[in-house]
Chain A
Amino acid sequence: MIDSYVYVITALLPLVSCMLIFQVNPYHALVIRGILGAVTALTYTVLGAADVALTEALVGTLLAVVLYTVAVRSSMVLRLGVLKSAIAGGEAGDPQPVSFKQLTTDLQTVFSNHHMRVELVPYPNREELHQALVDKEIHATCHSSETCTDHQPYDITIRLPRLYDILRAELASSTAHLTYMSSSDSVSAHSSIHPSIHSSVHSSESEEAHP
């Protein structure tokens, strides 16, 4: 004879698993995985398997969720190499570092739509910055550009094609010049490939300068 509440408790299980499946944000999904672990432990207990419930609570709710949170946190990140002077200048409040701050805010906005973080990794000079990109310590570099400083004061060099595609499509208020560097250490010709982005950025910049 099975009590009626057992059926109701068991019906909670597919409900929570559907919520877990249809969740797109990885962090929300992990928390819902914890909820699923709690409900599963309850179900196992009601059905009489106390040892299985204990294992589910310890492993499913505690260990798996915490370990996966650490894994998601360290993998879904854009490591952006910057010069130390750029970060230090932002605190001093110069006009150019203000646009650098704006640029990092834009980057964070773009990547937060993809549930990613932007982590700034400071380097003392440009040679070490470039070497870190070649050595795959960082995913992208951002430094002030030597040419065309009026319209695009920053150069962003990216070595991952997917990140380059995301930035090219979504970085709207761009004060930066995007460059894709393939793994064979050859910088591709960016301006000839994507002239439309250049023209649009130039026009928006000139509108801001002369309203």
Chain B
Amino acid sequence: MNLILIGMILALLIPLYEVWKDDDIWQTMLAFSSVSTKTAVMILFISVLRDDWMIGVVGVIILSVGNAGFMLLAHILKRMGDT
């Protein structure tokens, strides 16, 4: 199980490298959405691993609310590009 988690952490490094390398704001936003979803799924995985429902509920909330915040941020950035 630890090996699966280490693999997930390595997958988390891919969008971080993309953020560090790329200059386009939308690439950064894509990396943000990727990191946000990956961390939420990791939280869910850890909650199953530890059989801890409290952590699981937090993971579900982060997964759903994170997408809402992402859409808000994308909308503000898009209006900035229009004007």
Query: Chain A: residues with CB nearer than 8 A to chain B?
Result: 3-5, 8-9, 12, 15-16, 19, 25, 27-28, 30-32, 34-35, 38-39, 41-42, 45-46, 50-51, 53-54, 57-58, 61-62, 65-66, 69-70, 73, 117, 119
B83 touches A57 (CB 8 A): no
- Chain A interface SS verdict (over half): helix
B32 touches A66 (CB 8 A): no
Contact of B65 among A35, A45, A62 (CB under 8 A): A62
**Complex interface: chain B residues within 8 A of A19 (CB):** 16, 19-20
Contact of A42 among B15, B39, B65, B69 (CB under 8 A): B39
B36 touches A45 (CB 8 A): no
Q: Would you give 16 A-B contacts (Cβ < 8 Å), ordered by A? A: A3-B2, A4-B6, A8-B6, A27-B25, A28-B23, A28-B25, A39-B35, A41-B62, A46-B46, A50-B55, A57-B58, A57-B61, A61-B66, A65-B73, A66-B69, A66-B72
**Complex interface: chain B residues within 8 A of A32 (CB):** 19, 28, 32
- Number of interchain pairs (Cβ within 8 Å): 112
Give chain B interface residues in 1-40, CB to chain A under 8 Å: 2, 5-6, 9, 12, 15-16, 19-20, 23, 25, 28-29, 31-32, 35-36, 39-40
Query: Chain B: residues with CB nearer than 8 A to chain A?
Result: 2, 5-6, 9, 12, 15-16, 19-20, 23, 25, 28-29, 31-32, 35-36, 39-40, 42-43, 46, 54-55, 57-59, 61-62, 65-66, 68-70, 72-73, 76-77, 80, 83
A42 touches B25 (CB 8 A): no
**Complex interface: chain B residues within 8 A of A41 (CB):** 39, 43, 58, 62
Contact A35 B19, CB 8 Å, known A12-B12, A50-B54, A117-B83: yes
B66 touches A5 (CB 8 A): no
Closest Cβ of chain B to A3, distance in Å, is 6
B39 touches A62 (CB 8 A): no
Closest Cβ of chain A to B14, distance in Å, is 13
Closest Cβ of chain B to A58, distance in Å, is 6
**Complex interface: chain B residues within 8 A of A73 (CB):** 76, 80
Q: Which residue of B is nearest A53, CB measured?
A: B58
Closest Cβ of chain B to A1, distance in Å, is 12
Q: Which residue of A is nearest B59, CB measured?
A: A45
Contact of A35 among B2, B5, B16 (CB under 8 A): B16
